[in-house]
Amino acid sequence: MANNQFKRGELYSFITGKASTAIARRLQKKFNSANLNLTIEQWSVLYHLWKQDGISQQELCNASYRDKPSITRLVDNLEKLQLVKRVSSESDRRMNLIYLTGRAQKLQDQTMELANETLLEALEGVSPDRIDVCREVLQIVYDNLAG
Amino acid sequence: MANNQFKRGELYSFITGKASTAIARRLQKKFNSANLNLTIEQWSVLYHLWKQDGISQQELCNASYRDKPSITRLVDNLEKLQLVKRVSSESDRRMNLIYLTGRAQKLQDQTMELANETLLEALEGVSPDRIDVCREVLQIVYDNLAG
DNA sequence: GCCATATAGTTGTTTATACAACTATCCAAA
DNA sequence: TTTGGATAGTTGTATAAACAACTATATGGC
């Protein structure tokens, strides 16, 4: 049993996610410096739409691991910023399909470049195989808890 | 340059911190099931006070990587829950020293046990040396960005 | 067709974070 | 001893997340 106990600091770091918080803040600062007027959360929604445009809010929930009210309000704010449009589905009128505007399409390259830059800074001095291990462990953690 | 490009999914996972979010949610659910009426953020403040009681709000900021308004409001809420008390410092009247109440002291064992349990579930199937690599990488990331 | 149930999305409330602007106190240099 | 800058904390405002309660639409059994 004692073998299964985590050290305090270790435990705290994993739970509070200091590293990913730091990454997100760094990226947010880059967005702000570039006057993008975009939050990381808004970016993370656009991210899924860049992969596939015109998906429903429910699909955005699943993809971004957020609940429905969170997506409702993120889409509200993205609409205010004229980055997306809600289009009621013809086949199922309960659904809103979310489409990128031209403005949002133009943001993709610049923001992905800043995201890449941020990760390079974050992972400086870490060998590729250690990055791989870390990524795999985090994926397992996610899979262990997602169910 | 192409060598330095991250894959999209990898990039997204690191930035959005899916794993640590999932851990925090699982722990929150355990708190709720145990009727602890305590948020993870509140717990993370108590965590530092369990290590050292009677520190200032500024020290809580440094320890928990939050800004001053965040700590002000977390301490507000912890005071409402009668888990901490603000005591004005005698030596420097600008400072509030934050002290745990008896109620908060009693929460330590139970919540740390739940946190341990959560991490065991999260890291199930991951070998100790891979956990170590992951932890070290995340520490480097934090150090790279904290400055 | 009718109704129970499921699904998609919205709204209300509480808690938390980021940033800017503010007050109060301390300290050190003139 | 005064004054100006630094430090500790608070308040206002915007964005976001979790949870519960709600509306609207779809669907499958009868």
**Element of type H or E holding A58:** helix A57-64
A82 touches chain B (CB under 8 A): no
Q: Which CATH class is domain B2-114?
A: mainly alpha
pLDDT (tens place) for every residue of chain A, 147 residues total: 334 567 777 778 888 899 999 999 999 999 999 999 999 999 999 999 999 999 999 999 999 999 999 999 999 999 999 999 999 999 999 999 999 999 999 999 999 999 999 999 999 999 999 999 999 999 999 999 976
* Beta bridge mates, B98: B55, B86
| Contacting residues of A for B5, CB less than 8 Å apart | 116
Helices (H) and strands (E) in chain B, counts: 7, 3
Task: Say which amino acid occupies A127.
Answer: S
Q: What is the DSSP letter of A39?
A: -
* Domain boundary assignment for chain B: 2-114
Is residue B84 classed as helix, strand or coil in its secondary structure? strand
Pick the closest to residue A70 from A48, A42, A111 (CA basis): A42
Question: Span A7-146: which CATH code?
Answer: 1.10.10.10
- Coil, helix or strand for B56? strand
Q: Is the CB of residue A104 less than 8 Å from the CB of residue A84? A: yes
All residues of chain A having their beta carbon less than 8 Å from the beta carbon of residue B14 are 20, 23, 119, 122, 135
Residues lining strand D at under 7 Å (Cβ) are A 39, 41-42, 66-70, 73-74, 77, 92-94; B 21, 25, 28-29, 32, 56-58, 61, 68-69, 71-73, 75, 86, 92, 94-97
Mutate to test the interface with A, among B133, B139, B143 (most CBs of A within 10 A): B133
> Using one digit for the tens of pLDDT, what is the confidence trace for B106-136?
999 999 999 999 999 999 999 999 999 999 9
Chain A residues with CB inside 8 Å of B131's CB? Answer: 137
Residue B144 in tokens: 């790279």
The angle formed by the CA atoms of residues B22, B23 and B29, to the nearest 5 degrees, is 90
Please identify which residue in the block is written with the tokens 């800074």.
Answer: A121
Q: pLDDT higher for A91 or B6?
A: A91
| ipTM for the whole complex | 0.90
